[in-house]
Structure 1
C-alpha cells in the first residue's frame, strides 16, 4: 500500500482540500484503510484516496 498522507486525521477534525478551496472547510467522518470520508460545507460528502491527496488540517 502507498503512503497514507492523512493517517493522522481522525473523525471530527476540520480540513481543507489543497486544490479545491471552494469546497470550504470539511469535517472528517471516517478514516479507514486509506479512504477518508469528509463532509465539505460547499461540496457535500467526498471520499478521498489518502495515497493521492494530502488534506490540510484546519485549526480554529
Structure 2
C-alpha cells in the first residue's frame, strides 16, 4: 500500500480519522513523515504519518 500521507502538501485540508471532533485542519508542513496540521478545535498538532493516515478533504 502506498503512503498516502506522502502526497499531503502545505495548504491541503485534512481530517484525522480518529478525532472528528478536531474538525478540518490545514497542513502546515510534511517533512520526513511528520505532518504538522492546524486544526480549528485542537490547534497545531504534529502527526506521525507512519501511525495515522490523514483523510484529505476536497469539499466541506
- Same fold per TM (> 0.5)? yes
- The two structures, once aligned, show a CA RMSD in angstroms of 1.2
1:40: Cα distance to partner?
0.2
Higher-helix-fraction structure: 2
Matches within 5 A, 1:1-60: 4-60=3-59
* TM-score normalised per structure 2: 0.91
The C-alpha deviation readout for 1:5-53, integer Å capped at 9, x for no partner, is 4100000000000000000000000000010000001000000000000
Give the unaligned 5+ runs of structure 1: none
**What is the number of residues matched between the two proteins?**
58
